[in-house]
């Protein structure tokens, strides 16, 4: 991005005061990271960003947006663009820049797997096109426009992740990015606190098509009945992927190791490999292959790309432990569907010595939380761990259910403030060749356990 202040003011319908000729080349919300060429965006959530303008000025910011209802506190002798709403103006600027650059936009969402799928798609696309993807998981109303405005001017494909916490989040984000291709990975229970049912979560996810271009394509997981039902009467092109042979693209001959998955498909002669284990990650790769076909990427290039994909940190990954064994770390988010899938993968891996499972509370499940935690008992028992360690008050429901179903399984329960005690307990027990699965919602910060067992 490189705009004059006058151009930005015009694009966001703002009033420019104290103009300067210095171009704007980047955006910042944090005054501490401001520097020459940056436009400070004061967001009014929580701590009002307008209160931190002096820090941005001191660090070299070139200008700032400024809300019209804060004019009594506006800085003097500093370039400002007065707008009605700083967030909407920021999004308006991103939309204008996206239209100017004109890349093919691939929007990715889903209850689980969207970040991994984004990584796979971007790697495939980059074999033929100048490609930009959402960094980390900056997938909300701030991260999406920030990703857009960070695109180089020669970007040909933008792979953008869209998150959803509440109803209508995807409606506004889809209309912001106007995708050429929309991808839905799966429907789980994430954020059911705000949606109440999986069906309503599916309704929310389908909002990704609300901004889809008239000639756009929806690529979705055909193993999910809720998506099949909602896509049945769509008038534009759709493509399905999944593990079932009912899908247009499906996998076969799946073999899993502790760190990789190999598979073939019904449409190509190539055998594919991805640097992640689990059938659910095979499904994510199928979504990416479906997009690659729409982008006309040859199968041999997709094969090479998938095998070499670098996965965003804190997604499901095997890490060498400092105890001589291995850790399957998945500490970014969690919901019942995701836990079941990773337990299946963990149990399928060849046992080298002992297997331990560490599970933390799954957040944002609302009043269904206790029941949904307890519902994992059979899945945990079927995984046949040597012991299980549970963290958080909601996991006590799972502990009680396991005790009723399998009194022989050793269960250790901890509250979040007791994580240091849990770490010491694990360190005292872990042996060479032990394997340990660690999964929880990010709010539990079980990455502390991963760090303690790897450093």
Residue whose token pair is 């944090």: 30
Q: Is 80 exceeded by the pLDDT of residue 118?
A: yes
The pLDDT score that the predictor gives to residue 313 is: 73
- 301 and 326 fall within a common domain: no
Tokens of 210: 């609300």
In a domain, 19, yes or no: yes
Mean pLDDT of 376-385: 96
CATH number of domain containing 435: 3.90.190.20
Tokens of 271: 């055998």
Continuous H helices in 126-254: 143-149, 169-177, 192-195, 198-206, 225-231
Residue range 68-84, pLDDT digits in tens: 999 888 999 999 999 99
In a domain, 90, yes or no: no
- 70 and 121 fall within a common domain: no
Mean pLDDT of 94-123: 96
Task: Tell me the binding residues.
Answer: 110-116
- 162 and 74 fall within a common domain: no
CATH number of domain containing 233: 3.40.1190.10
Mean pLDDT of 330-357: 91
- 200 and 248 fall within a common domain: yes
- 432 and 376 fall within a common domain: yes
| pLDDT, averaged across the chain | 95
In a domain, 349, yes or no: yes
In a domain, 97, yes or no: no
Cα distances (Å, whole numbers) of residue 322 to 385, 428, 452: 20, 12, 9
In a domain, 73, yes or no: yes
CATH number of domain containing 51: 3.40.1390.10
- 302 and 354 fall within a common domain: no
Residue range 394-407, pLDDT digits in tens: 999 999 999 999 99
Q: Which residues contact 70 (CB under 8 A, 6 or more apart)?
A: 42, 50
Radius of gyration of the chain measured on its C-alpha atoms = 24
Q: Which domain holds residue 60?
A: 5-84
- 162 and 266 fall within a common domain: yes
In a domain, 72, yes or no: yes
Task: Tell me the binding residues for ATP.
Answer: 110-116
The number of distinct structural domains making up the chain is 3
Contact 430, 453 (CB under 8 A): yes
In a domain, 312, yes or no: no
Of 84, 112, 139, the residue that ends a domain is 84
- 441 and 334 fall within a common domain: yes
- 250 and 282 fall within a common domain: yes
Cα distances (Å, whole numbers) of residue 138 to 134, 145, 152, 162, 287: 6, 9, 17, 8, 20
In a domain, 89, yes or no: no
Q: Is 80 exceeded by the pLDDT of residue 192?
A: no
Of 307, 331, 365, the residue that ends a domain is 307
Share of the chain above pLDDT 70, in %: 99
Tokens of 254: 């799946």
- 168 and 222 fall within a common domain: yes
- 225 and 327 fall within a common domain: no
Of 259, 288, 307, the residue that ends a domain is 307
Distance CA 267, CA 356 (A): 39
- 209 and 133 fall within a common domain: yes
Give the pLDDT band of residue 349 (cuts 50, 70, 90).
confident
């Amino acid at each position: 991005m490189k705009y004059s202040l006058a151009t930005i003011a015009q694009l966001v319908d703002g009033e420019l005061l104290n103009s300067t000729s210095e171009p704007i080349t980047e955006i910042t919300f944090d005054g501490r990271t401001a520097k020459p060429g940056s436009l400070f965006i004061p967001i009014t959530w929580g701590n009002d960003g307008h209160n931190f303008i002096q820090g941005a000025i001191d660090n070299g910011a070139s200008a700032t947006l400024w809300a019209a209802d804060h004019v009594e506190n506006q800085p003097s002798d500093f370039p400002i663009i007065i707008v009605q709403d700083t967030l909407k103006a920021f999004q308006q600027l991103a939309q204008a820049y996206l239209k100017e650059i004109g890349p093919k936009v691939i929007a990715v969402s889903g209850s689980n797997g969207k970040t991994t799928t984004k990584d796979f798609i971007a790697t495939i696309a980059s074999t033929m096109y100048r490609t930009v993807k959402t960094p980390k998981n900056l997938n909300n109303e701030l991260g999406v426009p920030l990703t857009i405005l960070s695109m180089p001017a020669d970007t040909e494909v933008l792979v953008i992740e869209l998150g959803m916490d509440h109803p209508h989040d995807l409606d506004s984000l889809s209309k912001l990015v106007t995708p050429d291709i929309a991808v839905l990975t799966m429907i789980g229970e994430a954020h059911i606190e705000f949606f109440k049912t999986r069906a309503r979560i599916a309704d929310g996810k389908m909002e990704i098509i609300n901004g889809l271009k008239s000639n756009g394509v929806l690529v979705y997981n055909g193993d999910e009945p809720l998506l099949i039902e909602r896509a049945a009467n769509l008038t534009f092109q759709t493509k399905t992927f999944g593990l079932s042979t009912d899908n247009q693209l499906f996998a076969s001959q799946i073999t899993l190791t502790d760190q990789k998955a190999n598979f073939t498909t019904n449409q190509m002669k190539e055998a594919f490999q991805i640097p992640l284990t689990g059938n659910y990650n095979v499904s994510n790769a199928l979504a990416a292959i479906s997009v690659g076909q729409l982008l006309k990427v040859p199968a041999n290039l997709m094969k090479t790309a998938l095998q070499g994909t670098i996965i965003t940190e804190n997604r499901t990954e095997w890490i060498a432990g400092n105890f001589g064994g291995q850790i399957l770390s998945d500490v970014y988010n969690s919901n019942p569907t995701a836990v079941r899938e990773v337990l299946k993968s963990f149990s399928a891996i060849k046992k080298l010595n002992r297997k331990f499972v560490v599970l933390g509370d799954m957040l944002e499940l609302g009043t269904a939380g206790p029941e949904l935690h307890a519902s994992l008992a059979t899945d945990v028992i079927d995984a046949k761990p040597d012991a299980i360690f549970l963290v958080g008050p909601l996991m006590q429901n799972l502990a009680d259910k396991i005790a009723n179903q399998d009194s022989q399984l050793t269960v250790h329960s901890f509250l979040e403030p007791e994580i240091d005690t849990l770490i010491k307990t694990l360190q005292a027990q872990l042996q060479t060749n032990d394997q340990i699965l660690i999964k929880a919602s990010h709010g539990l910060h079980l990455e502390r356990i991963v760090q303690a067992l790897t450093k």
